[in-house]
Amino acid sequence: MQVYGPAHVHGPQAINAPHASPPAQPATQSEPSAIKDELHISDAARFVEQVRQAPDVRQDRIQSIRAQIAAGTYETPQRLDAAVERLLDEIG
């Protein structure tokens, strides 16, 4: 068994392995590949952006509608028809 220093061509090999270096390949001129930047946006980031773009809550309007519902004056035939039309548009 022969032991060579760290600068020798051979690395660790099996005892019966052939001790030959592969022939050197001529260097080929290849064009460098273009570097591409990529951006991956997570689902959580998309959700946060949707929340940020949501309209602000108009608390005064909510309380007004709650008062109308409590008084029984909010649900009119016209509003119910409009709500049914919107629902059918969404599912149909």
| Residue 10 domain-assigned (yes or no) | no
pLDDT digits (tens, 9 = 90+) for 42-88: 999 999 999 889 888 888 999 999 999 999 888 889 999 999 999 99
Interval 10-39 mean pLDDT: 70
| Residue 8 domain-assigned (yes or no) | no
Rounded to two decimals, the pTM is 0.33
| Both tokens assigned to 84 | 């049914």
| Residue 39 domain-assigned (yes or no) | no
| Structural domain count, the chain | 1
| Residue 83 domain-assigned (yes or no) | yes
Q: Within 13 Å and on the Cβ side, how many CA atoms surround 4? A: 9
| Residue 72 domain-assigned (yes or no) | yes
Residue 1 has pLDDT above 70, yes or no: no
| Residue 22 domain-assigned (yes or no) | no
Domain that holds residue 80: 57-91
